[in-house]
Amino acid sequence: MAILLVAFPLFSQYAIISETKIVFASYRDGNHEIYVMNADGSNQTNLTSDPANDEYPSWSPDGKRIAYCSMKKLNTDVYIINADGSNQTRLTDNPAFDAYPSWSPDGKKIAFSSMRDGNMNVYIMNTDGSNQTMLTNDPAHDVMPQWSPDGKKIAFQTTRHGKEEIYVMNSDGTNETRLTNNPAVDLCLSWSPDGKKIAFASKRDDDPNSEIFYGDSEIYVMNADGSNQTRLTNDPSFDMAPSWSPDGKKIAFYSLRNDVSPEKDESQWWYEMNAEIYVMNADGSEQKNITNNPAYDGYPFWSPLLLDVE
């Protein structure tokens, strides 16, 4: 009993606060910047404040750094910054297009896509930018790689069959396997934290004769082997780029549903549209706009669980 009496006040002095944040790209400053916000949409903060275009952010597994791509002097490369926006560091330095970074679960590698061989292929590198190694070698475009939570696989989207489909491979580039097989576009994937499911965006519910890219796109989820593909959103607008919360209970995505129907004005660039970031339950229920800004906000990426002791 004496031990309990001594221990109790010690624990009562501290509180372990857990939270998550969402990083995203925004055009609200007249160019693309990397922003971060709390998971409820509060405290939206510009991290990059850079005249260049900064896009496609990805949290490190420890929550301390963010990888993203930046276009400086008409060349796009992969960078990292601390989670507070400090210490911007360039990782790739190639005249070709390098983008779409994704951290390995152990924080030691970053997968990305590069056009340095004439078309987009998936590469990996150390987190200091060294040892850049090509994993895929196909005349199609292989982009947006995402590491599985156990580090054993990398999923990506590819144009090997005309329109985008989702593939998965071992993390060394072997055993490339097709997961989706649909005449429509399937793209922008995200692994669930337990590695059992993959969320993605699909235009399979759009008019097959439509030439408008920003038509009906929905968020789907499937098992990690490609089975049981199930629609989560059901809105005639453009829903894209899902990202799971670290507890697997929520999915963030961006949507054009607050904008004028894209069928009325296809001449707009995507960054001129009012894309908003939404959060929903993992079953598709309770979809909520959390950015509420008239500019483009897109490509959300949920942080790992962040712990603070107070």
**Report for 3-12, 253-262, 282-291: range of highest mean pLDDT:** 282-291
> Rounded to the nearest 5°, which phi and psi values hold at 5?
-65, -35
pTM of the predicted model, to two decimals? 0.91
Instruction: Say if CB 137 and CB 130 are below 8 A apart.
Output: no
Any bridge partners for residue 163, and if so which? 161
> Which pLDDT score, from 0 to 100, does residue 263 have?
54
| Rounded CA Rg of the chain | 20
> Which pLDDT score, from 0 to 100, does residue 258 have?
81
Whether pLDDT at 281 is above 60: yes
Q: Which CATH number fits domain 18-309: 2.120.10.30, 3.40.50.1970, 3.30.420.40, 3.30.70.2190?
A: 2.120.10.30
Percent of the chain predicted with pLDDT > 90: 80
> Which pLDDT score, from 0 to 100, does residue 266 have?
58
What does the pLDDT average to over 169-194? Answer: 97
> Which pLDDT score, from 0 to 100, does residue 270 have?
66
The per-residue pLDDT for range 227-272, each reduced to its tens digit, is 999 999 999 889 999 999 999 999 999 999 987 554 545 566 767 7
- Select from 224, 212, 238, 247 the least CA-distant residue to 147: 224
Whether pLDDT at 82 is above 60: yes
> Rounded to the nearest 5°, which phi and psi values hold at 159?
-100, 25
> Which pLDDT score, from 0 to 100, does residue 206 have?
83
What span, in angstroms and rounded, lies between the C-alpha atoms of 55 and 70? Answer: 6
Whether pLDDT at 16 is above 60: no
The per-residue pLDDT for range 186-239, each reduced to its tens digit, is 999 999 999 999 999 999 988 776 666 677 899 999 999 999 999 999 998 899
> Rounded to the nearest 5°, which phi and psi values hold at 257?
-65, -15
Mean pLDDT across the chain:
90
